[in-house]
Amino acid sequence: MHFHIHIYCPEKMPSCYRKAIFEYEKRLGRYTKISLHLIRKEKDWEKKLAEAEEGLYLTTGTSRGSEEFSSQIGRWESTGRKEVHFYVDRLYREEIPSDQLAAFSISRFQMNESMTALILYEQIYRAYRILHNHPYHK
């Protein structure tokens, strides 16, 4: 499976987040493919959302537990799903901007887009560790 994380991030992502995301990309390499797509211009972001096919739009709200999220990834893999797209918008809109997107939450807190991306990477990594019965902590 290939995870695509699309982020509307007009400013440059701080290096501490980039380094942490790179570390999770390395760790996830044994389980799945994952890529980060930074979109800087608002009109490009609006176009991306308008063209979005099935995907998940990150909002604030009740989040899934790690076990539940790992089960969801397991279901996606067992049904042969090839790609999962996540869309992270700094506005955390109440309404989902496209009929093709479903709401998805990783926290009740509203965070900047860089932190949200990092936590999403961490949650995907944690889910794969659970799926493969590997300890999360080294």
Residue 2 — left, alpha, or beta (φ > 0 → left; ψ -120 to 50 → alpha)? beta
**Measured CA distances, 125 to 44, 90, 118, 122 (Å):** 29, 23, 11, 5
Element (H, E) at 54: none
Element (H, E) at 55: strand 55-59
Domain-located, residue 136? no
Domain-located, residue 95? yes
Residue 15 — left, alpha, or beta (φ > 0 → left; ψ -120 to 50 → alpha)? alpha
* Residues belonging to the chain: 138
Domain-located, residue 138? no
Query: How high is the pLDDT of residue 62?
Result: 80
Distance CA 118, CA 18 (A): 8
Number of structural domains in the chain: 1
128: which residues sit within 8 A by CB, 6+ positions away?
A: 28, 31, 32, 70, 73
CATH code (residue 68): 3.40.1280.10
Could you write out the DSSP letters of every residue in 64-102? PPHHHHHHHHHHHHHTT--EEEEEE-TT--SS-S-TTEE
Domain-located, residue 14? yes
**Structural domain span for residue 123:** 2-131
Query: How high is the pLDDT of residue 138?
Result: 60
pTM above 0.85, yes or no: yes
pLDDT in tens, the chain (138 residues): 999 999 999 989 999 999 999 999 999 999 999 999 999 999 999 999 988 988 998 887 788 788 999 999 999 999 999 999 999 987 666 678 788 898 888 888 888 899 999 999 999 999 999 999 988 766
